[in-house]
Structure formats: structure tokens, C-alpha cells
Amino acid sequence: MEQKPLCVNSTPSSDNSKDIPLTDYSARDKPWDEHRSQAQDVMMIYDRAEQFERYAERISHCSGVLRFGQVIDQETGEIGLKLREAQFCRVRNCPVCQWRRSLMWQARFYQALPRLEQEHPKARWIFLTLTVPNCPVEELRATLQEMGRGWQRLIKRKEFKPVLGFIRTTEVTAEKKRPGYAHPHFHALLLVPSSWFGGDYYVTHAQWLELWRSCMRDDSIMSVDVRAVKSLNKDDPKTGLQRAAAETLKYSVKPDDMINNPDWFLAMTEQVHKLRFMATGGVLKDVLRQDDETDQDLIVADDVAEQPDDGARLAFSYRPSDRRYRRFARGDKVAD
């Protein structure tokens, strides 16, 4: 049975209202157009390769219809949209799913912070980036597996003993100079006791480099990047941590790298099949709950504040021809 569109106060009263872009309703939902448009490009790349046709098929159905509830902003009194229903493909490199997952992880991280700060009030954060020499994309799998073994050795070293917990993610970028080369690296957030700084435990930059070379058994490694996260800036206490968390918990492959280097991207997809791109340990072990996320997890993402609405569901559908979401009144519903 077809459901009747609801009469909703904020619906613009135009004859073509069904075609009004999502961004006209809600400027802050512009990222939907951007990420869904990237997904369209990625879908077309996968569609060219026989072994990835299924990925193309799944991405083509990703987040095709978004249904929003309308909530009143407590501060401004304005009516805003809040995503309530959508279906996601969960293909690893889908730009929409990567984006939602990154928001979800960052939100989970921030939700865990108060407890962590309470249990370890003086602990500090370190942001560590570990690289290895760039490799031909055909050797990416072997390189990532070797890096995983290097990391396992690292966390068993005495220098790592004082670390209270870690979150480690993998990022792969395309090398700019040599087509067909990949730059795999780890980002890690380490929670350390305050005694780390100025104490006997302290690991200097030169020592981190030596340590990583030794764990990787590779003296050609040229650099590591390690920085204390300044979380105690009283004007803006979370800025340093926010930046480090965003960098650690972002996409694993930049959508631009996928779209601008299709052959590299197809080879990369094959190489990373079923490899885990995240590891956690110590007191951060369960912070990110790496279970298979549901549609609901990706719908909520970072929008965790519970706000009631009147149950009306405004639908918007993605239009591949002009690469944006537009009003789709026939898809409106009333919440169950």
C-alpha cells in the first residue's frame, strides 16, 4: 500500500517540492552529496573489473534513500533534519560507508573519554605514525602483514610496557611520483601515564625510529612521527586530541586516491582482502567495539544525542544524473 506523504510544516511550498535538493533543506547535510557522488565513481571503477562486479552492485544500492525525522534545535529553535533510516552496503572502500564508520568511531572514542579520564586522570596521549618504504601495490599485502608482525614485536618491547592502551589504524595512500606504488602506514593513539614524560620511560624520537627499525628488521626505514598530544590547552582543551583522533579514525584509503588511480585501486582492493585495518589494546581494547556495524550504527554515526520527533519520515533519494539527493515524497513514511 502506498503511504501518503505527510504534511510537514517545514516542507517548502513549491510545486516541484519533490525535487528540492537535500542541501536546500539542510546545508549541513552537504557531505551526503559529496560522499555519495564519490561512491558513484568507485562503483563505476569496480563495475569494470569482473571480480568486483558484486561490490559495484552493492555500492549502487548504498544509501539510495535517506529518511529523516525533524527535530527542533534546543538552542536556536530551528527545525533540523536527523537521519533515521538508510541502508548501507558496507563494502570496505565505499566512500559513504567509510565516512559514516569514521564518524561512528570518533563518536565512540569521545563517549569513552570521560570514563578513561576518570580512571586515569593524569594520563596523556601520544600520536604516533609509523611508516615503511613505499612498495609496489602488488606487494601491499605482504608489506602490511610484515608491518602487523612488526607492531606485535613493538608492543612486547620494554619501551612499550608503560603504555596503558592503544588504538592503531592502517592507512594506504597512492604514491604521487611513481604510479602503481603504495604508501602504507600506521596511525596510533597511545595512552601513557604522566610519568612517561620526564621519567625513565620516556622514548625520544630517535629511539622510536630505532625501535621501529628493529621491530621491522629494516634499517632503510627513514622516519617515524611522534608527538605528544596537547590536551591541556585551557582555551581549547580537546583540540589536539580531536585532531589526532580524527587522523587516526578517518578513512583508510582517500576517495580521491581511489578515483584518480583506478588500476592502483583495483589492485589495492585485491591486496587488502580481509586484512584487519584496526587494532586496539590495553584500556582502549573495547572502546571501538569492532563488531560488524549495523545500518543503525551507521545511521546514528556521530549524532548520538537522543532527540524525539513527531514520527514523520521525510525521504530523499540520490539522483546519479545530477549527483545529489533530492526530495522523494513518494518515499515518505510514518515511523513504526
Residue ranges binding Zn ion (CB under 5 A) = 62, 88-89, 94, 96-97
Q: Give the nearest distance from C-beta 108 to Zn ion in angstroms.
A: 19
Q: Which is nearer to Zn ion, 97 or 287 (CB)?
A: 97
Cβ 99 to Zn ion shortest distance, Å: 9
Phi-psi region of 150 (alpha: psi -120 to 50; beta: other; left: phi over 0): alpha
Q: Minimum Å distance from CB 226 to Zn ion?
A: 34
Output 43 or 132, the one with its CB closest to Zn ion: 43
Q: Which is nearer to Zn ion, 30 or 213 (CB)?
A: 30
Residue 222, classified by CB atoms within 10 Å of its CB into exposed (0-12), middle (13-18) or buried (19+), is: exposed
Q: How far is the CB of 203 from Zn ion (least distance, A)?
A: 39
Shortest Cβ 91–Zn ion spacing (Å):
6
For the CB of residue 92, give the shortest distance to Zn ion in the complex, in Å: 9
- With respect to Zn ion, which residue has the nearer C-beta, 89 or 288? 89
Which residue's CB is nearer to Zn ion, number 59 or number 249? 59
Q: Which is nearer to Zn ion, 93 or 106 (CB)?
A: 93
Taking the least distance from each CB to Zn ion, the nearer of 97 and 299 is 97
Question: Residue 95 or residue 165: which is nearer to Zn ion going by CB?
Answer: 95
Nearest-approach distance from CB 269 to Zn ion, in angstroms:
14
SS (H, E, C) the chain: CCCCCCCCCCCCCCCCHHHCEHHHHCHHHHHHHHHHHHHHHHHHHHHHCHHHHHHHHHHHCCCCEEEEEEEECCCCCCEEEEEEECCCCCCCCCHHHHHHHHHHHHHHHHHHHHHHHHHCCCCEEEEEEEECCCEEHHHHHHHHHHHHHHHHHHCCCHHHCCCCEEEEEEEEEECCCCCCEEEEEEEEEEEECHHHCCCCCCCCHHHHHHHHHHHHCCCCCCCEEEEECCCCCCCCCCHHHHHHHHHHCCCCCCHHHHHHCHHHHHHHHHHCCCCCCEEEEECCCCCCCCCCCCHHHHHHCCCCCCCCCCCEEEEEEEECCCCEEEECHHHCEECC
Tell me the closest approach of the beta carbon of residue 47 to Zn ion, in angstroms: 15
